[in-house]
Amino acid sequence: MLTAKGEDEDKVLGFEYGADDYLTKPFNILELRARIKALLRRTYDIVANKGDIIKSGDIMIDVPSRKVNIAGKPVDLTSKEFDILFLLVTNPGKIYSRDTLLEIIWGYDYYGDSRTVDVHIRRLREKIEKDPSNPQYVLTKWGVGYYYKG
């Protein structure tokens, strides 16, 4: 949570409403980046500790080697495609906007166009979906973002 409210009761209320972290304005962008990276590390560690292999439908992800198989066949993904797939598979049903995916996958210092997410999603679908124009794994919530249907 990023807010101007810095009182202890505001912080407690933020955590009670589900915030994973709380940062008050003004803030140092380096601290924000460090907090985001720490949160992502914790999230990755939780998933990795559950097992180094993630299976969902026909998709099998070998996390340490960053390899993906679909119905037993290896699929070559770029680093960003793997990161997107991993994030979506480990958070099924959660919708990520383009901007959120840019922040998580590319980082806050990425200054490119948000349409790069669309291009990566399209390429990912071409590699993992039987029919990319009618996807069954990586779906679009129109006007909102992308999600994984587990």
pLDDT in tens, 45-97: 545 555 588 888 889 999 888 999 999 999 999 999 999 999 999 889 999 99
Check if the beta carbon of residue 85 is closer than 8 Å to that of residue 77: yes
For domain 51-150, which CATH number applies: 1.20.1180.10, 1.20.1260.10, 1.10.10.10, 1.10.287.1080? Answer: 1.10.10.10
Q: 61 vs 44, 52, 78, 116, CA distance in Å? A: 13, 8, 14, 23
Whether the full predicted model's pTM is greater than 0.85, yes or no, is no
Parse the chain into domains and list their residue ranges: 1-49, 51-150
Check if the beta carbon of residue 131 is closer than 8 Å to that of residue 139: no
CATH of domain 1-49: 3.40.50.2300
> What band does 130 get if pLDDT is binned at 50, 70 and 90?
very high
Q: 6-44 pLDDT, tens per residue?
A: 888 888 887 777 777 788 888 888 888 888 777 776 655
